Amino acid sequence: MRELDLIEAIRRGSAGKRSLRGVAVALGIGDDCAVLRVPPGHEVLVTTDFSLEGRHFRRDWHSPESVGHRCLARGLSDLAAMGAEPLAAFLSLALPANMLTTVAGQKWVRRFFEGLRGLGDRYGVSLAGGDTAEAPGGMVLADIVLVGSAPAGKALRRSGAKTGDLLYCTGALGGAAAELNSLMAGKKIRSAASPQLFPEPRLAVGTALLRRGLASACMDMSDGLSTDLAHLCRASGVNAEVQLESLPLHPAAARLSGAERRKTVLHGGEDYELLFAAPAAVKMPRMIAGVAITPIGRFVRRKAGASLMTLVGTDGMRTPLEAAGWEHFSSEGK
């Protein structure tokens, strides 16, 4: 497979896809630039994410479909966090030389694109361009750019949470990290509903929060609740209290023992759920677009000496919640 063949293969799978609002890609792969149509009255949002072998995925843990899916899901989740709708994706992909010349390698690449396209098709987003190169060091390196749009001035931000607002999250927490622990222990994950292998970006929730004016601040959780909530608090200039018993546990996390479960749900990354704030007066639906919405705490005034985040236990015990920095696993394990 030469580089031209690879681009042709990508193009064949991308042609003619329609975005949710019609044709967003006026001119896609094959010219020097892609041309995108932005809906009238909308702004363009852009996000970029690396997917590096050994850092964000491992070929012995993640199937090619999973790697392709996760690559796109990371970018889509950032668009969801701001209430944006995707317009198009761009992928720069560096592959080890043997992936382009061996049958097994070409099969891996084909399955990678199947995984990426499978998710893209569901949200009406296709690859509108990219670049390929031979990777040094035998690693698969992917960099994806997502372009989306939102009504001008309305994109959800991290900075809007106010004292007295309630804190919410979508879906369930800790699943991706609990499954990562299983992978590290040498177990296999087979479920197609796996949050580690096939995380679901919450695009429909993000756009509904924006459209219905429900959220005052929003972000997606890629690094874990404690780390991401700290970002939201700092951006908004408020502190937060989290009710431990309110946190919705993913079944894979619920199976863990006490201390491990707590660590996973508070600090485990890669769930790609949304974390958002809303005024207490907002009547928040319990489900949006089929996804559970759970109140998990509230925002309080920033006070000198008080910790940015406080964990409130079942017994009402209050302890400072530290942002335990989630590091994506390295090839050495962690």
- Which residues of this protein are in contact with Mg ion, per CB under 5 A? 78, 220
Instruction: Please identify, using beta-carbon distances, which residue of 55 and 59 lies nearer to Mg ion.
Output: 55
Three-class DSSP category at 98:
helix
Other residues' Cβ atoms within 10 Å of the Cβ of residue 33: 8
Nearest approach, Cβ of residue 240 and Mg ion (Å): 18
Of residues 143, 104, 151, the one with CA closest to residue 127: 143
| Nearest-angstrom CA–CA distance, 5 and 329 | 33
CB of residue 223 vs Mg ion: minimum separation in angstroms? 8
Closer residue to Mg ion in complex, CB, 96/143:
143
Cβ of residue 16: shortest distance to Mg ion, in angstroms? 30
From the list 181, 221, 196, 198, the residue with the least C-alpha distance to 333 is 181
Q: Minimal distance in Å, beta carbon 220 to Mg ion?
A: 4
262 membership: H or E segment, kind and range: helix 258-267
Q: How would you label 201-232 residue by residue, b for 16+ Cβ within 10 Å and e otherwise? A: bbbbbbbbbbeeebbbbbbbbbbbbbbbbbeb
Pairing mode of beta strands 85-95, 25-27: unpaired
Can you tell me the distance from the alpha carbon of 269 to that of 277, in angstroms, rounded to the nearest whole number? 20
Shortest spacing between CB 81 and Mg ion, in angstroms = 5
Minimum distance from CB of 36 to Mg ion (Å)? Answer: 22
Of 78 and 200, which CB lies nearer to Mg ion in the complex structure? 78
Q: Can you give the C-alpha Rg of the chain in angstroms? A: 20
Closer to Mg ion by CB, 157 or 298: give it: 157
We find the least distance from the C-beta atom of residue 228 to Mg ion, in angstroms, to be 8
Closer by beta carbon to Mg ion, 28 or else 171: 171
**Rounded Cα distance, 101 and 96, in Å:** 10
**Least Cβ distance, residue 273 to Mg ion (angstroms):** 11
Closer residue to Mg ion in complex, CB, 200/220 = 220
Q: How far is the CB of 260 from Mg ion (least distance, A)?
A: 26
Closer residue to Mg ion in complex, CB, 53/271: 271
Q: What sign does the CA torsion over 281, 286, 292, 295 have?
A: positive
Report residue 212 CA to chain centroid gap: 22
Q: Which uninterrupted H or E stretch holds 243?
A: strand 239-243
Binning the chain into helix, strand and coil, the percentages to the nearest 5 are 30, 30, 40
Q: Which is nearer to Mg ion, 78 or 179 (CB)?
A: 78
> Which string of b and e fits 82-112 if b means at least 16 CB within 10 Å?
bbbbbbbbbbbbbbbeebbeeeebbebbebb
Residue with smaller CB distance to Mg ion, 146 or 312: 146
